[in-house]
Amino acid sequence: MENQTNIHQHDHQFSDAERQAVYKSIYSRRDVRGQFKPDPIPDEVLARILQAAHHAPSVGFMQPWNFLLIKSQQVKQQVHDLFKKANHEAGEMFEQETQRQIYSTLKLEGILESPINLVVTCDRERAGPVVIGRTHDMAMDVYSSVCAVQNLWLAARAEGLGVGWVSIFDRLELKKLLQLPTQVTPVAYLCIGYVEHFFVEPELKTAGWLDRLPLQDLVFFDQWENSHAEHEEKLVKYLSQAAY
How far is it between the farthest Cα atoms of the chain? 68
Q: How confident is the model at residue 180 (pLDDT cuts 50, 70, 90)?
A: very high
Q: What is the pTM of this model?
A: 0.91
Q: Is residue 11 part of a domain?
A: no
Q: Is residue 72 part of a domain?
A: yes
Q: How confident is the model at residue 185 (pLDDT cuts 50, 70, 90)?
A: very high
pLDDT for the residue 3: 52
Q: How far is CA 8 from CA 12, 13, 15, 19, 26, in A?
A: 7, 9, 14, 18, 27
Co-location of 81 and 198 in the same domain: yes
Distance CA 11, CA 27 (A): 26
> Residue 114 maps to which CATH number?
3.40.109.10
Q: How confident is the model at residue 51 (pLDDT cuts 50, 70, 90)?
A: very high
Residue 9 backbone phi and psi in degrees, to 5? -65, -40
pLDDT for the residue 2: 47
Q: Could you tell me the residue range of the domain that residue 222 belongs to?
A: 213-244
The count of C-alpha atoms lying within 13 angstroms of the C-alpha of 64, restricted to the half-sphere facing its C-beta, is 30
| Residue (of 121, 134, 136) closest to 187 by Cα position | 121
Co-location of 149 and 244 in the same domain: no
135 has a pLDDT exceeding 80: yes
Q: How confident is the model at residue 198 (pLDDT cuts 50, 70, 90)?
A: very high
One-letter identity of residue 238: Y
Co-location of 87 and 192 in the same domain: yes
| Residue (of 20, 32, 15, 28) closest to 203 by Cα position | 32
Domain count, the chain: 2
Co-location of 170 and 52 in the same domain: yes
